[in-house]
Each structure stands twice: as structure tokens, then as C-alpha cells.
Amino acid sequence: MSRKFYITTPIYYVNARPHIGHAYTTIACDTIARRQRMLGADTFFLTGTDEHGQKIERAAQAAGKTPQELTNEVSAAFRSLWDRMGITYDDYIRTTEDRHKLRVQELFRRIRNNGYIYKGTYTGQYCVYDELYVDAVGPGADCPECGRPTETVHEENYFFKLSAFEDKLLRLYTDQPDFIRPETRRNEVMSFVRSGLRDLSISRSTFSWGILVPDDPKHVIYVWLDALANYITAIGFGSPDQADQQKFEKYWPADLQMIGKEIVRFHCVYWPAFLMAAGLALPHGIMAHGWLLFEENKMSKSRGNIVRAETILDVLGADALRYFLLREIVFGQDGSFSFDALVQRYNADLANGLGNLASRTLTMIARYFRSEVPYPSHTAARRPADDAIADLSRKTISECHTLFDQYQFSRALETAWGLVAAVDKYIVENEPWALGEKQDEESRARLGTVLYTSAEALRIVTALAHPVIPDSTTKIWAQLGLGETKKFPLSELKWGQLHLGTKLGNVQAVFPRADKTAIERMQKMEERDASAATEAQPAAGSASGGTFAAQVGGAPATSARSAVSSSDGKISIDDFAKIDLRVGQIRVAERVKGADKLLRLEVDIGTEVRQVVAGIAETYEPDSLIGRKVVIVANLAPRKLRGLESNGMIVAASPEGGKPVLCSFLEDVPMGTRLK
């Protein structure tokens, strides 16, 4: 009976289309899954999209779509990209699927029936961007995870007894030190748990886009309990179907769950606690990789520094991206991306390295031996250098297996390419092209030995690299006359398996060299895409629909016209179009301590709730503003008032010598609507 291997990506939140940060995680998982299949494991690889929550509901409202319409579009973009990249997932789960909803409700019932869920009331701060309850102090306090201001929440909730699992979790981390990797993340999690765990609200009752709590449809299940459950719902947990139950019993627990470091708490604290409460086995291990940085910042849509995977696919292909990310970045640590570094690595390691080795070796076999693998001499034509390549190949196989097993992709690839460099040097020193011009028997025997040795080392590197760069290695494997790479049993890889007389396939260059125009093309493509995305953006701030907590700066009577006016005071229609005016509804209003004229407001503009500091305290009592709709200039640069960060402006009329009066509407206008 074959060994099973179950691996998962995090399911990606559909607040924005995919970029290479998402691709990084998925490529790593795909590499592991491909390798496990080559090692003979019965492998199941899961990915998908997380589609519920307040953030999605608001983003859909701002875009004039239903939440289902929005999630359908973005989830399709993820799936389309993975298919284009050749990601070999076995299932793609969406949290809006009925199979998932019903099984999440079953998980909720099990936890509740085991005595770990009770009803209560939550009052405190909530970060919509992270869908996270936070221990922030005071209304509008910044989220400790993402730095965005939080919203004040007061609602009836169901609570999970997270506090009951503090000792059990610490024992888990101690007894199974490899449960969380790398060690830095494990230490962070242990420190968090040791600081004390409080019970966790696991339902929301102030919005409806989510999975209904069983027997209480006024509540929807907390998005993180909903999302985390995908790892078991996709393989049959909670299904009445016997085949689904058998599937769950076969694959659970997961062998590896891959995540980004920003969601460690959810996966390493909440997730095992939920599973313990339900009486289910825990995954064998959770691996958290670092961030992919661009211009020294984490990629995010709100920063405008996203790089699309499609840009690289169009210019250099999927293998270039796969190789760069896994070779350039030490897995588990943050890593930098740039188009310059991508092209340099592509040319050095792929075009001039593996590609050149394959081309020169196979071309010479085709020229001197009629495209048939030659016989390596064991007579006087043999040299110590031949045995050195064979010994290095054996060592490379062993070390690469160890490093790949430890998910040290960069070191594994460095080791494999060390063999490439050694064979290149071997070819240069033995000059097979010169031997090919000679007609004597000894030169012919020596030529055959050199080319066989080079081709066999090429075969070994190709097999080891196949999980990382599957498209190009498949081509090289076919050029070696060996059929399909994916069917090769990697666990049986050893020196000397290249059969004499094997007929080569059609020899062609696999990695055409990239010049500086490749960098220029990718940069221009990203600039055009960023420009188009900005023009299509429905609202300022985070396009993900999360809480951006932008505060309105300046007195409300200040005109936005000053930012774009010409010398004669007139503006063009293009200038006016730059001003993003949005309808918002005031959710929270309170006085700013020490400022007679200022109020701190939390204003919902559809995609997000912004913290607003406005100079209207002399005109309006805070309580009178709750529920009132106002107009916000949504795209002003941040500033601070009384220590509160501001970004934008409340629109009001301010008669000379009089008090400001807020702009409002006679008709009901949806939140987030843009004024034109």
C-alpha cells in the first residue's frame, strides 16, 4: 500500500486578484506535491479561495455587485492563473460551495456539542481587513497585525472557549517542535499563547455574507472558523456520503499545511484548538514562509506595488518564475523580488547553466554519434575526472533528497546547479569538440566517455529539478529520449541509468537568453496594469475592502478645489475627475479629547470604514450624527490632527462667519456611491 501525502495551500481571500506573492506559496506547494508523486506517494494537493466575510460584502456593495458575483469573478481569476501555470492541484475548494457550507455547520455542531461554544456579547475592536478581533485599546485604535485602524463592534456572538486550550497548545508545541516551522514562527506562537488566551467570538450578527450558524440564522459563522475548515471539508469531513468519509479517513491528517507568516496565529493557535475541540486529529506540520518584498515592502494592492505573475509568464514563462522564487529566497525568510534579479538569475542558471549544458551535450551526441547515447569506455580512455563527476552526482542526489525533504529549496537547487557547473568545467577541460575531429580509436572512446558522463549528469539534474521547473525539464527529458519525466521514480534515481544506445529526441534550445528588453517589457506591462487598476478602483484606500481607518484631515469647510486649481482658479474636467467623492454613513461619533471643534467619526463608505476627524463639534452633537449619510473626499493624502492620522475630508458648507453644515441627501443613496 502506497504512502499518502496531503498538502494544502492557504485558501486565498478574494478581495483582489492574484499576484506573485500568492504564486510563491502555490509554487512551493506544487513543487512538493510533484516531488511526492515522483517518490511514489498517493498525493492529494488542495488549494482554493476564501469567499465570506464583512470585507467581501462591503467590496461587492461598492462595486455594484452581489457578493456571489464578486467572488465568482476573483475566484475564477485565481483558478485560471493556476491552470495557466500548470499547478497540479487535486481539488479547488470554494467556501461558497454547498459541500463546504454544510460541513462547516457540522464542525460547528461538534464543537458546540462537546461543550466549547456558548452565547455572549462582544464589545471591542475588530479589524475588518484581517477579519480579526484585536486587543486594541480605545475606538479607532490600530490593528496590531496590519496597522490599520479598527472598528468598534458591539453585538451578540457565539464564543469559542479558546482559553481552555492554552496548556494543551503549549504542550503540543513542546512535544512536537516540528509542528510549526521555522523555529522563529514557533517561538512567536508560544510567546503569544503564554501571554494568555481569551475566549474567541466565532459568529457575527451585524452582516449576512457567511455561513449560517446551525439553529440560529441570525448569526453567521466567523470567517476564520469557516475558512480554516476547508482543509477537512474538501476531503469529505462531515459528509453523509460513505465515499467522502473514506476519503477523509484516508488523507487526514494533513502532512503539510503551507501558509504565509501573517496568518500564523490563525493556523497555529485557532486551528489546532478547533480540531481538539471537535475531537479531530491535528495536521502533522505547518510551514510558514516569509513575505515576498518588492522595493523593500511587502506586496499589497493598497501600496500599489503588486507584480502580476502573468507579466512574467508572458515574457519568460512559468519555469523562470518558479525557479527564481525557490532559488533566490531562503524558504521561511523574507525575500526580495525585482525584474533585474529575475532576468539575471534566469540567464545565469537557466539559459547559461542548465540550458547550455543540455544544448551543447545533446548537440554533440547528435553530431558525433547519430543521436544515440554513446558507450562510456572503461579502458585507457577513462580518466579520474569521469569518476569525479559520477561521485559528485551520487552526492548531489543524496544531498538534494535531504534538502528537499526539509523544504530547503534554495540550498537544494544550489546543490544541483553545483553539479551543472562541475560538468560545464569538465566539458571545457576535456574538449569533446576537439576529440570529435580526430579519427583514432582512443579519441573516439574518450569522446564517448565524456559525452556519456555529461549526458548522465544532465539526466540526474533534470530529474532532481523536475518538481521545480516541470515544463523545461520535461523537454530536456524528451530530448534525452527518456519519455515522460513525471513517471520516473525519483526514489530510484542513481548514477548509470542512462541506457547505451538510447535514441535522442529533437534537440532544441530550452531557455533562450533574455536581454535587457525583457526587463523593460515587464516593467511597462506592470506600469500599464497599475494604471488601469487605479482608474478602475472604486474607492480610495484598501481595495480589499478591509478597514483602512483613514481619518479625514483638515477642517470640513476646506475646499478640495485648491489641490487641482490652475492659476486663474478654474479647473478642467480632468482635474475634477481626480477628486474621489464618496457617500458614507457615520457609524461612530465622539469628541476628541482636548479639541473643542473636533469629532472623531467612523464612516462606512462601502468598501471600508474610515476614521474621520472633522471640525464640526460646535455644530453637531456626536449622538445626532449616528446613521447620518455624508460626503467624503476619499483620495487625499494622510495627515494627523491631535495625534490621529487623517486621510480625506468631510464635505460641508461653511458660510462666512457661520458654522459648518454637512452636505447630505434627500433620497436614499447607497454607501460607497461616487459623486459625479
Domain covering 560-662: architecture: Beta Barrel (2.40)
Q: How confident is the model at residue 549 (pLDDT cuts 50, 70, 90)?
A: very low
Q: How confident is the model at residue 405 (pLDDT cuts 50, 70, 90)?
A: very high
Q: How confident is the model at residue 666 (pLDDT cuts 50, 70, 90)?
A: low
Query: Which CB contacts under 8 angstroms, 24+ apart, belong to 246-251?
Result: 250/4, 251/4, 251/6, 251/44
Residue 607 clears pLDDT 90, i.e. is over it? no
Q: Assess contact for 317 and 338: CB atoms under 8 A.
A: no
- The pLDDT, as a whole number, for residue 501 is 94
Query: What is the average pLDDT value for the chain, to the nearest integer?
Result: 87
Helix (H, G, I), strand (E, B) or coil at 528: helix
Q: Assess contact for 346 and 469: CB atoms under 8 A.
A: no
Distance CA 566, CA 563 (A): 9
**Which is nearest to 94 in space by CA: 13, 153, 167, 187?**
13
Q: What angle do CA 264, 269, 274 make, to 5 degrees?
A: 125
Give the C-alpha distances (Å, rounded to integers) separating 638 from 65, 140, 301, 386. 29, 15, 17, 66
- The pLDDT, as a whole number, for residue 627 is 77
- The pLDDT, as a whole number, for residue 299 is 58
Distance CA 175, CA 72 (A): 42
- The pLDDT, as a whole number, for residue 552 is 29
For 258-298, how does the pLDDT look when each residue is reduced to its tens digit (9 = 90+)?
A: 999 999 999 999 999 999 999 999 999 999 999 888 765 66
User: Which carries the bigger pLDDT value, residue 210 or residue 532?
Assistant: 210
Which residues are CB-contacts of 583 (< 8 A; sequence separation ≥ 6)? Answer: 605, 606, 629, 630, 631, 632, 665, 669, 670, 671, 672, 673, 674, 675
The conformation of residue 149, written as its DSSP 8-state character, comes to B
Distance CA 200, CA 158 (A): 8
Q: How confident is the model at residue 131 (pLDDT cuts 50, 70, 90)?
A: confident
The conformation of residue 480, written as its DSSP 8-state character, comes to T
Per-residue pLDDT averaged across 399-410, rounded? Answer: 97
Residue 447 clears pLDDT 50, i.e. is over it? yes
* Pairing label, strands 212-213, 200-201: unpaired
Residue 207 clears pLDDT 80, i.e. is over it? yes
Q: Give the amino acid at 184.
A: T
- The pLDDT, as a whole number, for residue 11 is 96
Distance CA 323, CA 329 (A): 10
Per-residue pLDDT averaged across 618-635, rounded? Answer: 84
Burial of 595 (0-12, 13-18, 19+ CB in 10 A): middle
Q: How confident is the model at residue 449 (pLDDT cuts 50, 70, 90)?
A: very high
Q: Give the amino acid at 363.
A: T
Q: Assess contact for 626 and 577: CB atoms under 8 A.
A: no
Distance CA 71, CA 63 (A): 12
Residue 566 clears pLDDT 60, i.e. is over it? no
Residue 166 clears pLDDT 80, i.e. is over it? yes
What DSSP element (H or E) covers 316?
A: none
- Every domain of the chain with CATH number 2.40.50.140 lies at 560-662
**Quick one: how far is CA 228 from the chain centroid?**
15
User: Which carries the bigger pLDDT value, residue 628 or residue 271?
Assistant: 271
Distance CA 240, CA 226 (A): 19
- The pLDDT, as a whole number, for residue 327 is 97
Cell numbers for 176, please give them.
Answer: 512536537
Per-residue pLDDT averaged across 129-153, rounded? Answer: 75
Q: Assess contact for 77 and 308: CB atoms under 8 A.
A: no
Per-residue pLDDT averaged across 197-215, rounded? Answer: 93
- Every domain of the chain with CATH number 1.10.730.10 lies at 318-492
What DSSP element (H or E) covers 624?
A: helix 622-625
φ, ψ (nearest 5 deg) of residue 370: 55, 40
Per-residue pLDDT averaged across 655-665, rounded? Answer: 73
| Least reliable range by pLDDT among 520-524, 557-561, 663-667 | 557-561
| Least reliable range by pLDDT among 118-127, 374-383, 562-571, 618-627 | 562-571
Which residues are CB-contacts of 19 (< 8 A; sequence separation ≥ 6)? Answer: 299, 306, 307, 308, 309
- The pLDDT, as a whole number, for residue 577 is 61
Distance CA 515, CA 286 (A): 40
Domain covering 318-492: architecture: Orthogonal Bundle (1.10)
Q: How confident is the model at residue 2 (pLDDT cuts 50, 70, 90)?
A: confident
- The pLDDT, as a whole number, for residue 605 is 85
For 9-23, how does the pLDDT look when each residue is reduced to its tens digit (9 = 90+)?
A: 999 999 888 999 999
- The pLDDT, as a whole number, for residue 595 is 79
**Which is nearest to 301 in space by CA: 60, 537, 605, 48?**
537
Per-residue pLDDT averaged across 666-675, rounded? Answer: 73
User: Which carries the bigger pLDDT value, residue 337 or residue 643?
Assistant: 337
Cis peptide before 182, with omega less than 30 degrees from 0? yes
Which residues are CB-contacts of 432 (< 8 A; sequence separation ≥ 6)? Answer: 364, 368, 447, 450, 451, 454
For the chain, give the percent of residues with pLDDT over 90: 63
Cis peptide before 253, with omega less than 30 degrees from 0? yes
| Least reliable range by pLDDT among 169-178, 515-524, 628-637 | 628-637
**Lookup result for grid cell 517561538:** 187
Q: pTM value?
A: 0.78
Q: Assess contact for 32 and 467: CB atoms under 8 A.
A: yes
- The pLDDT, as a whole number, for residue 480 is 96
The conformation of residue 666, written as its DSSP 8-state character, comes to S
Distance CA 425, CA 650 (A): 69
Q: Assess contact for 477 and 465: CB atoms under 8 A.
A: no
Per-residue pLDDT averaged across 513-540, rounded? Answer: 72
Distance CA 258, CA 292 (A): 15
Distance CA 120, CA 127 (A): 20
